[in-house]
Structure 1
């Protein structure tokens, strides 16, 4: 229930973000998106998977073979 209360105002703020972008669009030369005009904290793309180290071809092969053995 706490999550519902916490995330409830987001759609209203996003509507305001869109209306602001629509209203200001005729007055600017370049196209502007709602996220450019009014960035919100939860719009940031957080992808923790990119922080993982990349495996070499040999390491991937070894992991694949270990996985096949367990199946």
Structure 2
């Protein structure tokens, strides 16, 4: 299953499409420090309806990794 999400950094306004499963270190491309408590904004998700759009903590993206690996 191909899953991707448009993720926005609410602190910088930078956003980009990322494919899942995602190595979270790639999020530095939109200005994240790599802290799992950082908040991300999921603007759009393609490939699954099991993950909702909206704000979540970086560590909650692990659920999207698990969905992509099924």
Give the TM-score, by structure 1 length. 0.21
- Which structure would you say has the larger Rg? 1
* Structure of greater relative contact order (alpha carbons < 8 Å, 6+ residues apart): 2
Structure number with higher helix proportion: 1
Structure number with higher strand proportion: 2
Give the TM-score, by structure 2 length. 0.21
